[in-house]
Amino acid sequence: MKSLKKQAGISLVSALFIIVVLALMGGYMLKLSSVQHLSTGLSAKGIRAHFAAVSALEWATWLASNSQADHDSICSNPATTTNFQFTSGTLAGFNITVTCDNYGGFKEASKNYEVDFITVEASKGGGNDYVYRKVTATISTGSVLPP
């Protein structure tokens, strides 16, 4: 009987060890879960930033090819930079920078071409919540733009 009394506390040590190990694993899983949620949120914001940049690129492309006056308001040599911010919808709060560089024109087969290089940058947030996307396009008009 003497040997059984000496081993009476071993189950308490084992139970404490298991509780500590399970608590550490739970803490690790909680941290992993929060990082995964943050990553998913940033991924969604990154997609929105991409579409904000593409939307601004479509706007700049339309403006550069709509009329000569609109073209000259957004594209010049040296490059012109236009800044604005989306104010509504899912793109609200994105800061947009549109840079349009007019490479000039050339004539080919009695057609006048105007060549422009458009760069759009979309950004939002700060610190760990910052997203940024950049898209570019080279466009040319195949005829003289209307006034």
* pLDDT tens digits, one per residue of 82-107: 889 998 888 889 999 999 988 877 77
Domain extent, residue 9, equals 2-141
Distance from the Cα of residue 1 to its chain's centroid: 72
97 occurs within a structural domain: yes
Sorted by sequence, the CB contacts under 8 Å of residue 112 that are 6+ apart come out as 105, 106, 143, 144
65 occurs within a structural domain: yes
147 occurs within a structural domain: no
Domain count of the fold of the chain: 1
Distance from the Cα of residue 44 to its chain's centroid: 9
146 occurs within a structural domain: no
* pLDDT tens digits, one per residue of 47-80: 999 999 999 999 999 988 888 788 788 887 788 8
107 occurs within a structural domain: yes
26 occurs within a structural domain: yes
Q: In what side-by-side order are the strands of the sheet with 95-108?
A: 80-85, 95-108, 111-124, 131-141
